Amino acid sequence: MTGPRVDVWIPTRGRPIWCLEAVESALAQDGVDVRVVVAADGPEPELAALLARRADARVSVVAHPASRGRSATRNLAATASIAPYVAFLDDDDRLLEGSLGARVDALEAIPSAVLAYGRAVATDVEGRVREGARGTEPTRTTVRDGLEDQLRGRSLLPSTVCMRRAAFDAVGGFDEDLATGEDWLLFLRAARLGPFVDVGRPVALYRRHGGQARGTPAEQEAALSVWLPRFFDDPATPAAARARGRRLRGRHLHWISRNHRHTGARADARRTLRAAVRDDPSLVLHPKRLLRWIGALLGA
């Protein structure tokens, strides 16, 4: 395969069939010299057998002897990777045709860019695109201030990101003690290095299912109190960005409040919503959020 070398890192645990689909979607990419590093969070004999039957020299497998978590598994993939570009792909997602080449081309064309990303298209548990799914129409490529976007609460889905390996190393990889929020922290740190490129097209299929590793709302709250200070108390973070830490915390607390509500923990939903609005009063400018805020004040 001709084209720039790019390694796709797939962390996995307990999803052999889906992981194989993710691997196949990566190997099918054209316009790039692609390699796939499957990093297993503990023994995966069924997956190992599936990959062995495929017998593709472009696929390598590394594994922890016992589970160490998502971040440590992603970092493990880095130890088996040498490409100048790396793409993240979760084991329950798939890359869309040509999406890897589009992101690598963007990074080749814009040397100052740290990473390139696109949109994710949601699918059901069977991997089928949902009827009327948003984000399927292409738009133009834009160079963006990744730090500004994230300070406004706009997240990047890891499976949509292709990053320069030098930038990944410069920010120190994923913080392995975080059960959740590790991707936010990595992308915030990366944004201090230079701009991001939005390639203006869907690049990945994002499978929605009950087993997604997002952590519980309680875990999300606990992690928030850890990873936010790591970025906003860091002297390397620009002063103008540090001044907006409270607002970003409010945005995350609002999201956590919604997750509490979805689990039926109404008291926790009200508590975190009140905290979110204290940090970012602009949240109540949306009519539905205002009604929830009034309900939280009244304890309803």
User: Hey, what CATH class is 5-207 in?
Assistant: alpha beta
Measured at the alpha carbon of residue 282, what is the angle toward residues 278 and 288, in degrees to the nearest 5?
100
What are the extents of the domains in the chain?
Answer: 5-207, 217-298
pLDDT at 213: 55
Closest CA to 19 of 80, 93, 71: 93
Burial of 148 (0-12, 13-18, 19+ CB in 10 A): middle
pLDDT tens track, the chain, 300 positions = 578 999 999 999 999 999 999 999 999 999 999 999 999 999 999 999 999 998 899 999 999 999 999 999 999 999 999 999 999 999 999 999 999 999 999 999 999 999 999 999 999 888 888 776 666 677 789 999 999 999 998 889 999 999 999 999 999 999 999 989 999 999 999 999 999 999 999 999 999 876 655 678 999 999 999 999 999 999 999 999 999 999 999 999 999 999 999 899 999 999 999 999 999 999 887 666 566 656 655 665
- 56 φ, ψ (degrees, to nearest 5): -105, 120
